[in-house]
Structure 1
Amino acid sequence: MADVIDLGEYGAGFRADPHPVYAELRALGPVHRVRLPPPEGYDTWLVVGYEEARAALADPRLAKDVGAAGMALFDEQAFGKHMLVSDPPQHTRLRSLVTRAFTARRVEALRPRIQRITDELLDAMLPRGRADLVEAFAYPLPITVICELLGVPEIDRAAFREMSNEVVVPTSEEAGLRAADQLGTYLAELIEDKRCAGPADDLLSALIRTTAEDGDRLSGDELRGMAFLLLIAGHETTVNLIVNGAYNLLTHPDQLAELRADLDLIDGAVEEVLRHEGPVETATFRFAAQPLEIAGTAIGRGELVMIGLTAADRDACRYPAPDRFDIHRDTRGHLAFGHGIHYCLGAPLARLETRTALRTLLRRAPALALDGPPGEWLPGMLIRGRRSLPVRW
């Protein structure tokens, strides 16, 4: 068995800035046996090299359905089976049914509404002169979009937000499990309400109606699991992409000045944020369905494997001077949205929201600047984002 590197020994500095640690690990090799920092504290394989991570993300020997390994994930227990915890052929079936409803046309149709929500949030925020960008802007934009997309009634959205926050970043294990149970119950009731109400334009109603050529449809548990996945993937990651984007631009004034001078550079800026400090630090767990090797490292059947997305995207073998933030960089191939069959279905929506948010914010607040130190980083190694970002203009 390989020596175990205890990431907890790096202390709080690892959460604040994990990139030097990942660089140190890459210098030693692309794959390591590590012990995760508290509260997780268990051992896993961690892939930190770009080529190895890209290959691992598409390797069918690394499975997502932990039930086959005799394990259970709390989100699957609370919400039902969804694409992120399934393998082919089940994953193929689920993704095919969802893509029938969650189309590029549906995402593109959201463009004017996303712009209106963005402008309304800035109308409320800008007269104040200063704000926490997370609370005033980056959070309410994606949560409003995903609630409207799924058809969550406006009266329920405050409770919906509270439950989803607790599930993603629980204040305690008990509170997280309780919130998951509450959210699972809420989604089941919402789905049943929509079944009874008949045809509507929202995505959840479309998923209820979606039928494959052979008559296959999503079950109630699958609908609940899909609603959960779309909720979490559809807002939590986008919140942190917007915040990480704003922070990177505000701390790189030369890049910010170039973007202000030509807002058509926004697409490249967003892609560089995704590469440089993407909102998902590591992909959700896989496990070895059979013995395999990654870069010569033997991994036994049933062992957990964690793929470092931000670690891979700072690999100098793929991106020269990887720690430099450069909105003109060729970012093609970055892994912020994953790779292979589990590539993020919501990537077009996340890009559309972030481009709209940052472009409009920079246009309407030309004197935007940091207003003190940013909040602490969120705990854990899944989401890479800050609790707050004080700004003024």
Structure 2
Amino acid sequence: MSEKYFLLENLKYDDKSFYSIYRGDCKSDTIRDEYDRFNRDILNVKSIVTQIIEFNIKYKRSLVQHWKFILETMMKHNDFSSDKNLFLDEDFIKEEYYKEHKASPPSSNKEKDFISRVIDQLKGFYELAYTEENEIDEIDVYRISDPNLNLSRALVSRCLLCPEKDKKKKSIKTQEIFKKFEDECLNKVMVKKMIYEIKDKGRYISCWRQILELMGHNLDFDIEKNLDVNIEYVKKNWKNNAIVSSQVRAKISIGQLENVFNMTYNNIKTQKRAPLREISVNTNVRANKNLKRVGSDVELPVRKRSNFASVNQSNSNEPRDDPIQNNKLIRFSQLLDKVYLVTSKKYEMGIEKLQISIDVKLKMIEEIKAILDFKKQEVLDLIISGMRN
């Protein structure tokens, strides 16, 4: 299943593809989530897409621009909820539209403006999309660890921790925890993208399920609170519960879930020092010269660290960065992250085979990660410096 940008030239309908109203970055991840919901709920309906896909490209550009405005405007509505179907409040949308465009509504009903026509059209699409026979099919609900599910499809589908039949075998409390995790975490674009950067994600997600189940043992557990409040309980008790045969993997999985919770509840893309994030084998032994060892701990050299985000935000008097350069930097950073993650499994497997204690294995991973994090940032700093000069 491939994704097709809705504004491609000469686009033709293909029932083996799904369609998207955006390409690249959005203003925020919450807006991206809403765009993805529109893609899934509206543009995933054949009878809707086939109506509009043959419009000329100029008209489609205008449509997409207005659709995005309407979606973002409705996110400000008091009745908005990502758990509800998409809906329209015509007066609310027009009030925001005229305010933003510093315009006045038409003087008569005969002079309907474009935003009115788009709203009317969307009303028909929404009504068609949310009728019983056009609701999203079960085929669009996937197990997030399904090896046949690619990232593009996952982004516009509902993702589950495990099949519903397996979930029903668990206790009522565990079922509630799994559902809460699916509703609050697995519908986040950032979380889905993070999951698809994990090699052998199935093994780690299996561990996540056991960690989430362990949270239910907490006497202070409250389903109404965010799941991240239980992470400290997990850290204190995971060794006393058989989470997985590999304690190294269990420790890494706890760190991964901390990242997921930060993305979900704090809107943080990644932690600066995520505990035991998977590591790369591209280790330069000379990097040890940059580290000062204190006992068994590792200290990084004190230096000013920057990235493309912080450089953009600092010194507002400087000229704004070239967006082309920024895009190149983003792509390079993403490439570094992929290199960092793709080889991580090799390191973990190698360390697991060593005939040493679990504590020493964990310490080895932590120290190697500290070196690699520092060297990766050095490379980014060097690239940024070259772009600025």
**TM-score, scaled relative to structure 2:** 0.24
Q: Radius of gyration: which is bigger?
A: 2
**TM-score, scaled relative to structure 1:** 0.24
